[in-house]
């Protein structure tokens, strides 16, 4: 969805965020637990590794005034739900959205650099022109995309003899590859091979 120039609304931002996170294995818990925030302006999401609180504001001034409260709510929630030794206790993220632009680059940087309690990501109107931009903002929090079947990944070991043929005889490289696959010492295979020609 494209913006009409006035910036993405909090409702659009949260709807897109909900869809992106759900499609990437996160469980959405709505605004449960974030009592200081307006209903419909925030959501919680978690996967096996992290807990994310996302808040969408109408204006930069609202974001500036409200982010510390949102952070406090998230920290309190993490403290109640997770033991200090749990991996997710250390992987809490606060994502702050504001669909309208701001010229306060220093203010944005100051919030993002403040890592004293949880890590923060701030995205304002300049970076939120379309719902596709929301996916880009969330990308660091999403699991890495893995190839489906693995069939499209070439067998790296099979390519080595050809890649090294100008430096190492094909027979020698193939002997080392075969030894590796068989979990045998490669030097023994090379010794069995004896003297090899450096001609391809």
Domains (range + CATH), the chain: 10-141 (3.30.750), 156-193 (no CATH)
User: DSSP of the chain, one letter per residue?
Assistant: -B--SS---HHHHHHHHHHHHHHTTPEE-TTTT-TTSPTTSEEEEE-SS-EEEEEEESSHHHHHHHHHHHHHHHHHHHHHHS-TTSGGGG-EEEEEEESS--S-HHHHHHHHH--SSSEEEEE-GGG-SBHHHHHHHHGGGSPPP--SSSTTS--HHHHHHHHHTTTS-HHHHHHHHHHHHHT--HHHHHHHH-S--S--
Q: Would you state the pLDDT for residue 3?
A: 40
pTM surpassing 0.75?
no
Model confidence pLDDT, tens digit, residues 61-120: 999 999 999 998 888 888 877 665 565 556 889 999 998 998 999 999 999 998 888 899
Listed as ranges, residues in the chain with pLDDT below 70 are: 1-6, 30-39, 82-90, 145-154, 195-200
């Amino acid at each position: 969805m494209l913006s009409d120039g006035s910036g993405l609304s909090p409702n659009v931002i949260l709807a897109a965020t909900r869809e992106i996170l759900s499609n990437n294995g996160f469980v959405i818990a709505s605004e449960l637990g974030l009592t200081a925030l307006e209903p419909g302006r925030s959501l919680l999401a978690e996967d096996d590794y992290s807990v994310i609180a996302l808040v969408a504001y109408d204006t930069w001034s609202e974001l500036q005034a409200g982010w510390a409260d949102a952070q406090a709510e998230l920290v309190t929630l993490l403290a109640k739900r997770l033991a200090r030794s749990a991996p997710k206790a250390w992987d809490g993220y606060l994502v702050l959205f504001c669909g309208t632009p701001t010229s306060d680059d220093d203010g944005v940087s100051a919030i993002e650099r403040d890592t004293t309690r949880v890590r923060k990501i701030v995205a304002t109107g300049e970076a939120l022109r379309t719902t596709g931009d929301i996916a880009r903002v969330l990308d660091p929090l999403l699991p890495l995309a893995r190839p489906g079947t693995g069939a499209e990944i070439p067998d790296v070991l099979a390519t080595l003899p050809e890649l090294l043929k100008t430096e190492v005889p094909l027979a020698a490289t193939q002997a080392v590859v075969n030894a590796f696959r068989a979990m045998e010492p490669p030097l023994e295979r090379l010794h069995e091979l004896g003297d090899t020609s450096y001609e391809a």
